[in-house]
Structure 1
Amino acid sequence: MEEFNYGSSVTYQCDTVERGQVPFSLIGESSIHCTSTDNVNGDWSGPAPECKVVLCNQPKVAYGKQMTGYSPVYTYRASVLFECEHRYTLKGSNILHCNENGEWDPQSPVCELSSCDDPPYISNTFRDHSNSNLFPAGTVVKYNCVGGYELIPGISSASVTCQKDFTWSEQQEFCRRIRCPSPDIRNGTARPRKELYVYEDKIRIECDRGYALKDNYGLMKCERNGAWHPPLPICEPACEPPAHISNGRDNRGWRNVFLVGSSVRYFCNSGWSLVGVSSIRCTAGDGGTPRWDAPAPECKACEPPARIANGQDNRGWKNVFLVGSSVSYSCNHGWSLVGVSSIRCIAGDGGTPRWDAPVPECKEIPRCPNPVIENGKQISIRETEYTVGNRVEFQCESGYILEGSKSIECQTNGKWDPPVPSCIKVGCPKPDVQNGGMVIALDEKEWYDMNENVTFKCFPGYQFSDLWYQSTTDSLAITCSTDGTWTMLPKCEKQINSPLCNMVRESVKFLHCGLSLAELRTHLETQKLYLEIQKFKRGLQKYKE
């Protein structure tokens, strides 16, 4: 037997177990020592401990939650910490230990209810602000109406109380929607029509026929102060919106209300003419029914002009003829335009557009007969037919002379003016020379053919007036020319014998003697000197006289 001396000690520990097995727990003191109560006999300070398996159940606390000591197995001396859920109070110890008997020590605590839940939601309200989220018995929570709502008449205070059983007192509706007065519109109606109008309701005011809203679009809303915004309008006498006009505009803009006294002015687009008054005004009218003082005007263009028979115009596909536009006409070949060739659209009196002239007509052009003359021909371009204005010029054949006008023109009556001429054979009348006669006149006749010659000689004591003939011959032959006149019909004048005249005649003869230019020049200079001397002598003689 093993012996232990006084004061020695023994320490115990349990055996280990395999992995996954529940370990042994040491029950009792892990260390004991040898002592004595009488100083004679030895005793151990306590009984030896024992090793055994000790397990406690999973601890549970209603409305509580375990804060520490989580474990899949709770063995001897294991401890856990508990805390109650929100709005619950702990009764008992919040710490538990697993004892050697496999029980928790002390007993599990209790979590008791100590507050009401969150205050109830009551429609159209909001709660007074509070920093606390605990509501012990006796707590009073007050409510307020949200915007657009008010306390129901008869309710002085909106609140609930947490009762002793931690339930809230009876809940009820505290607030109702703010109400606006029923809209009563004279000469008008509110839409939609309802028995009760409350906050945020919208209405549209429609005026009766002959009335309109002034400075208001007729849309209103019930506000949180129990009033309509904007304030209810007044339906005033008004005219119906005036007609819009085609091809024009007016100055109404976005306006759709036309009270008595208002006016609308009209304008036409470019090229269109305003027919009627340019401005109309809304008046009270007979019996108080508003009306416009005049009908809306019209914007008009000229009516399409008539088309012409046997002709055409330049309108093409155009069927609208604005002021300032024009249409030109032309006739088919063989037809003549009677009237103006172009008409123009103008505003006219009172603004009514009209054409500045009547539409012309195409009348058949008169044709003149082909002008033919014997012993002659046309010298202008020949035409297949001759119409008004065509001109023709003629020329006779050689030996013939034109009697009448050389140029004729076709007239509107289908006749030529002047009349068509004729070509007559050329001849000259019997020549008559005063103080002279024909040398040979056996066949003297009254009419001579073209190119026929006649010889003349001056009577004694007379000579040809032309110095040339005086110096060259004492007879002269003349010819009937192609134009029916005699060539160089001579004149016979009384012969004058004077030295100067004779000298001139001799000089003319001298010029025909075949002199050279140098000899001729010397002769002329000598002649000139002689004449100047004679002139000087005559001047000297007149001076002496």
Structure 2
Amino acid sequence: MGPPRRPPLRGPGLLLPPVLVLVLVLPWLGGARAQDTCMPPERLQYAELEERFNTMKSFPVGTTVSYVCRPGYMGIPGKSPSRTCGEDLQWSPVEQFCTERKCKHPGELKHGFINVTDLTFGSKATLSCAAGFRLIGIDEISCVIKDKGVGWNRELPLCEIIPCEPPPNIANGRYTEADNYVYQTSVTYTCNNVPKGMDPFSLIGPATLVCTYNAQLNGIWSEPPPECRVVKCDNPEVKNGRKSSGFGPLYRYRDSVVFECDPGYFMIGPNTITCGENNTWSSPTPTCEKITEHVCGAPKITHGVVIPGKSAYEEGESVQIKCNVHCAFPDGTKEMTATCQGQNAWSSLQDCACETAGSGFTPVINYGRVIDGQKSSYFVGDFITIECYAGYTLHGEARIQYIGENLWHPGVPTCQLSAYITAIICVIVAIVVLLAAFWVYKKFFSQNGSYTVDESCKETCILKTNVPAEMEETAQMN
């Protein structure tokens, strides 16, 4: 039998078993290590860790990592792209050190508009065309990463003036031709002449068509084309009445006749009739009824309407008279009441007077044009939009409003040569002046400083330049 095993020694000053020591120490070591290490830096939208830090698993206190700005971003001057693990186990500093790069302004879209709210990386610009033009290409561009920087992802599109198909041909007529038919091009139709003795053609419908466009930005003509037809209306007659204008045995399209009743009669129906396109008068021929003691004919009101409208009214019956738009009675009111007094007489009957609200022409814009709202005549409240030709700058508001009496608010703008073009012209003029001065110098001065003397004065003139002193003295003695 071997020697008996001795129990482990216990007591003060004695070493503990190694396994027990290891069990007690390891948790403390792990805790100390965890307390001295930062978590990996959070991912930044605008920057990323340099490649050498991507493989690191542990970041002890005092560790400094560096970033590089992501594509589309650039460093902010004065801001460090580094962060350090602090004793509080937080990364500092936390302020942003990269900012979005900016694209250059897209420029100008001829005959169009560019809506740019921001130029930074990721922003968008929307594109649209002026009235009468349509976009050829996309209507939106984006600021994206491009050529190690940023730039717009597409070229600017084009604004094409909207074209129309050639206007329709019509029988027995023709239209004024143009080189091309585009937005605001107008054509005028006329009917063919006929041999003497034959009935002439009448133009039925609008004489002028204008190239415009629909909701799909396709070119269309403003109205259907007119027709050329022979139109004749019968000679109208009114019993107990007569023609006051429009005399003649034959009546063509749009010829008018005005009637009046004989004394003692009043008229029922309109006093004016017009020859229509279907060889008939615009309304039935009026009649003239005998005036009686208790009856009134319909009151005749210029620029107004009668309510209720009838051909005859009983004595004591009242009507309401309303003036048309932009019209009023002499006292400024727009409505009044009139009463039949018998014998075709009305009380308080007045005509409406109207103001001229239109302007007969579009304002003249030198080196510019009206691109929206142009009409042959304008009324108060109408707007037009003006743009200048290339190379000219608009001085004033582009959109102005008609305020009456051929006046516009805030005033018709002007188109003046842009500063850039003016500078180029000044440079060209300066170059021309310098070249002219140099030519004059070369013409009248030789390279050695001698004057060029005309042949006619060679015998009487003395050249002092480059003449020996002795010859000069001799000349003075003589």
Do they superpose with TM above 0.5?
no
Higher Rg: 1
TM-score, length of structure 2 as denominator length:
0.28
